[in-house]
């Protein structure tokens, strides 16, 4: 039974590793392109827009009565 819990306890580490790998694979090409000032400004704008969208979606899910 101890071996079972030992194996199960490894899964969060694998999950974090996979998430970080996907994150770095998605961000790395954007970082290389940020040397151009216009591209850097548009990337920052896209990041802010995405965070605001996520904020309003979560706010609408948590407090649905405050949308009216």
Render each residue's pLDDT in the chain as its tens digit; 68 residues.
778 888 888 899 999 999 999 999 988 988 888 888 898 899 899 999 999 999 999 999 998 887 66
Q: What is the pTM of this model?
A: 0.59
CB neighbours (10 Å) of residue 40? 14
32 vs 53: CA distance, rounded Å: 25
Q: What is the maximum alpha-carbon separation in the chain? A: 58
Confidence (pLDDT) at 18:
95
CB 30 within 8 A of CB 43: yes
- Two structure tokens written together for 60: 């609408």
- pLDDT confidence of residue 68: 61
Do 16 and 26 meet the contact criterion of CB atoms below 8 Å apart? no
């Amino acid at each position: 039974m101890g071996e079972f819990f030992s194996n199960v306890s490894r899964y969060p580490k694998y999950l974090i590793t996979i998430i970080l790998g996907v994150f770095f694979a998605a961000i790395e090409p954007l970082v290389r392109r940020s040397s151009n000032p216009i591209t850097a400004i548009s990337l920052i704008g896209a990041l802010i827009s995405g965070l605001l969208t996520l904020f309003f979606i979560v706010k609408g899910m948590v407090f649905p009565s405050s949308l009216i």
